[in-house]
């Protein structure tokens, strides 16, 4: 559950490296509403996200019903602080890295491949169809057991769709990017809609909406300096 909620919250916001600063954004804060639909049941999570390039730390403050604070960094170190239980959970993994996220790719200008090239994917058979650029990306051997290909569709040089196919060639995930706006010379999608297809035939639909985006001098909040309380209880 922690893993799924983490990706649900951070589908599009991530740590921004030196290239982030070069894009003219030193810090960013924004609000997010995430809706998840499965088997006719809907879960809604509200959150605020805070990132500054100086220390590369991304802080996600979640409201009801979770009331948790998540902190992650470039190294994939994830810390989850439960404000009500006063407990701390820690883990680490590549999938938690703040650089392994959609917003990072937009802020660093990696909208052509959404970070796939850095992961070892290779583009094949790009084609234009009805004004759209469609590119297939073939995975490296290290992840070929997970994906057979990933398809990205661009319109006006912006990615509007990504389709993920498992090792057997089945479409397991569709992601749509829309409602683009410009902030400090960076174009961001304010709506991300994701369809995940489960093996048993069910599916999970996630829709993330961003709002109240503030950058640089307009991004002012004490949450940029949040630290875990010293007396919090660490879970094994």
Q: What does the H/E/C string look like for 190-228? A: EEEEEEEECCCCCEEEEEEEEEEEEEHHHCCCHHHHCCC
Under a CB-based contact definition with an 8 Å cutoff, are residues 203 and 195 in contact?
yes
The tokens 């007396």 sit on which residue?
231
Under a CB-based contact definition with an 8 Å cutoff, are residues 212 and 221 in contact?
no
C-alpha 20/C-alpha 171 separation (Å) is 32
Tell me the whole-structure pTM to 2 decimals.
0.81
C-alpha 155/C-alpha 159 separation (Å) is 6
- What's the domain count of the chain? 1
Residues for the chain: how many in total? 236
Which residues face 29 on adjacent strands? Answer: 50, 214
Q: Helix (H, G, I), strand (E, B), or coil: what is residue 168?
A: coil
Q: pLDDT higher for 69 or 27?
A: 69
Residue 36 sits in a domain whose CATH number is 2.50.20.10
Confidence of residue 6 (pLDDT cuts 50, 70, 90): very low
By residue range, what is the domain housing residue 203? 2-234
Percent of the chain residues topping a pLDDT of 90: 53
Give the lowest-confidence range in 60-64, 94-98, 219-223.
94-98
CA torsion sign for 84, 87, 89, 90 is positive
Under a CB-based contact definition with an 8 Å cutoff, are residues 188 and 106 in contact?
yes
C-alpha 23/C-alpha 26 separation (Å) is 9
Give the lowest-confidence range in 34-43, 98-107, 205-214, 226-235.
98-107
Strands (E), 10-155: 27-38, 41-52, 57-62, 68-72, 77-82, 87-92, 122-129, 132-138, 149-155
Over residues 190-225, the pLDDT tens digits come to 999 999 998 888 899 999 999 999 988 999 999 999
Which residues face 163 on adjacent strands? Answer: 151, 174
Predicted pLDDT at 19? 36
């Amino acid at each position: 559950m922690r893993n799924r909620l983490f990706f649900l919250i951070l589908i599009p916001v991530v740590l921004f490296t030196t290239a982030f600063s070069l894009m003219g954004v030193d810090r960013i804060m924004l609000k997010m509403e995430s809706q998840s639909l499965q088997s006719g049941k809907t879960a809604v999570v509200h959150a605020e996200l805070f990132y500054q390039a100086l220390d590369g730390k991304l802080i996600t403050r979640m409201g009801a019903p979770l009331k948790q604070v998540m902190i992650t960094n470039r190294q994939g170190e994830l810390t989850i602080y439960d404000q009500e239980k006063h407990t701390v959970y820690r883990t680490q993994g590549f999938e938690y890295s703040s650089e392994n996220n959609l917003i990072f790719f937009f802020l660093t200008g990696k909208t052509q491949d959404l970070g796939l090239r850095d992961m070892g994917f290779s583009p094949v058979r790009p084609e234009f169809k009805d004004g759209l650029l469609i590119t297939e990306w073939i995975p490296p051997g290290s992840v070929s057991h997970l994906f057979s290909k990933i398809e990205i569709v661009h319109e006006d040089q912006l990615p509007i769709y990504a389709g993920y196919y498992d090792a057997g060639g089945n479409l397991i995930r569709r992601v749509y990017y829309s409602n683009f706006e410009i902030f400090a010379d960076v174009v961001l999608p304010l709506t991300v809609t994701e369809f995940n297809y489960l093996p048993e035939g069910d599916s999970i639909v996630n829709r993330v909406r961003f709002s109240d985006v503030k950058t640089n001098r307009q991004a002012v909040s004490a949450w940029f300096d949040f630290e875990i309380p010293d007396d919090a209880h660490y879970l094994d």
